[in-house]
Structure 1
Amino acid sequence: MASNLRIFSGSSHPDLAKAICSKLKIKLSELTISKFACGEIYAKPVESVRGDDVFIIQTGTGNVNEELIELFIILDSMKRSFARSIHVVIPYYPYARQDRVASPREPITAKLMAKLIEEAGADHVITMQIHSEQQQGFFGFPIDHLNARKLFAKYFQNKKIKDLVVVAPDAGAAKDADRLARLLGVTIAVMSKMRPGFNKAEITSLVGDVKGKNCIIFD
């Protein structure tokens, strides 16, 4: 099974890559990642990947822009090394919130990211809880959009917390929050949110009963 399956890790979350390899009982393949004196990133696989199915694990963390550039360079190196297929595992998809033009002259950066990932060499993306499901249409290749809703439901069921209510922080999150509430057999409350300025948010109202209850805010 694993004869031509290769898993590589970018700099963002090597522990996650190691955990995945441990679960699959395969070795984490080596990747050379370094920086030139000017700060430019250099990356390439240590061994040949010709004809292999390559999975690259890189997520969005605190240094998201640098990690994206690193991902693009890794993708290009895999493509030029004749990998048979290149799959990108991005648990947290960067720039996903910028998925529409909310005010004049704004970019749709989520779509730009999809195009850059595709152009760099990816054939397939696996991500978790992307900000809006329609973003799957931004890609010109298959995308697996995974959801951890059932895992969360099992976790809270095992906790046996009484008087639970699932709260959606805005209308956009209401559908997912409702699905979790149905799995738990509890009610839902929905907040109304407005943005008075850049990178600012205010809750203006709440629909639903949360008084005296234990709230799960599901965003």
Structure 2
Amino acid sequence: MNKEELHRLLHPMKLIGLGGNPALNEKIAKILGEPLLETAVHHFSDGEIQVNISETVRGCDVFVIQTIQDPVNQSFMELEIVLDALHRASAHTINVVVPYLAYSRSDTKTRSREPITAKLIANLLQLTGIDRLLTIDLHASQIQGFYDIPVDHLHAQPLLAQYFLDNGFAGREGDDVVIVSPDHAGAKLARNFGQYFDAPIAIVDQRGTRYDDEVHDMIGDVKGKKCIIVDDLVDTGSRIASSTKSVMAAGATKVYVAVTHALLSQNAVDRLNGLPIEQIVVTDTIQHEQYPDRMVRISVDQLLARGIDYIYNDRSIHEIFDEQNRLK
């Protein structure tokens, strides 16, 4: 019996999928060939949550999959209560898989008496005794430093880039693709995304935190170009709307959007449907009942399943990054 077989015998893998994104949970479980544990989550009339896990998890390596999406606080409390139950049930390791980690935008203090909620979330998760966090495209990479446990920060941008490459986008061939950042803060993300196409970047000269319908100046040349606006998330759609109008006013011929997390809150669907965008390419980290007309969803099921498998079998997550970098 080799080391891996002994590990599987002593500490079998158990998967728990919570209510944030059931469809993605099922996809991941199917790829791994492991069933999701039957977990009953009951909501009392006053809003309290009760969780019952049907099987023993003593000595097991447990992976809890939960997207913290709308309703955000309810999703987070479901996760916290399950983690407490696993800790009290003597699980060998408790690994949290969060495709989208809410509150990540609150990662720094910019005004007096302002909280750093991303740090608070890190503290609350660690209070339940988790061993590891696996997530995708945090709003800011430095959030990993808020944790005193290993954080595996996977990236979905290569998946989005691969979609465009498969559909004929390549800067070196036509020299007509420009990657656009919707503001100055996203310039690094745009630069990294542009490397997959050997394409230049441009920046919407958006200043301040308020996004509106005004047309802003562009830093960089987009005239006569196909533009791909890149961001980590789309919430109400105001930032995408502002960027789209700015690049079109600067002479862009076509506009595409590549975003990891599609929050789509308030009237985002209607707002995005009203824009002259060819396609909006996102991942399925967040599940909704309705999507914009021209939205293409790329699944992160393989990416997360591989991350879980590598963690369970003590393989280096860096291997995933190396394979993604070969797209360039």
Q: TM-score, normalised by structure 2?
A: 0.63
Corresponding residue SS for 2:35? coil
* Residue 134 (structure 1) shift: 0.8
Q: Distance in 1 between matches of 2:143 and 2:180?
A: 24
Match of 1:168 among 181, 187, 192: 181
- Please state how far the C-alpha of 1:37 moved relative to its aligned partner: 2.7
In structure 2, distance between residues paired with 1:102 and 1:29: 42
Structure 1 residue corresponding to 2:122, chosen from 114, 124, 131: 114
Q: Tell me, yes or no, if structure 1 residue 134 matches structure 2 residue 146.
A: no
- Matched residue type, 1:194: R
Unaligned runs of 5+ in 2: 232-328
Instruction: Report percent identity of matched pairs.
Output: 39
Other-structure match for 1:201: 211
Residue 98 of structure 2 is aligned to residue 85 of structure 1: no
Residue equivalent to 1:101: 109
Question: What letter is aligned with 2:121?
Answer: M
- In the alignment, the residues of structure 1 paired with residue 197 and residue 129 of structure 2 have an alpha-carbon distance, to the nearest angstrom, of 41
Structure 1 match to 2:78: 70
Q: Per-residue deviation at 1:179?
A: 1.1
Structure 2 residue 51 is matched with structure 1 residue 43: yes
Q: How many Å apart are 1:41 and its aligned residue?
A: 0.5
Number of aligned positions between the proteins:
216
Does the Cα contact within 8 Å between 1:194 and 1:204 map onto a contact in 2? no
Q: What are the ranges of 5 or more consecutive residues in structure 1 without an aligned counterpart?
A: none
Give the 5 Å matches for 1:156-195. 156-161=164-169, 163-195=176-208
The one-letter code of the counterpart of 2:177 is L
**Distance apart, 1:204 and its partner CA:** 4.4
The 2-side partners of 1:68 and 1:97 are apart by: 16
Q: Deviations over 1:178-207 (max 9, x none)?
A: 1110111111111233336xxx32574321
**CA distances 1:33-60 after superposition (whole Å, capped 9, x unpaired):** 1112322001131111000011111112
> Does structure 2 conserve the Cα–Cα contact (< 8 Å) formed by 1:60 and 1:90?
yes
The match for 1:213 among 225, 239, 245 is 225
Tell me the distance in 1 between the aligned counterparts of 2:150 and 2:98: 14
Q: CA deviation at 1:91?
A: 1.1
Deviates more, 1:163-172 or 1:46-55: 163-172
C-alpha separation in 2, matches of 1:193 and 1:121: 41
Higher strand share: 1
Deviation, structure 1 residue 165: 1.2
TM-score for the superposition, normalised by structure 1: 0.93
Residue by residue, what CA displacement relative to the aligned partner does 1:13-34 show, whole Å, maximum 9, x if unpaired? 1111100011111111111111
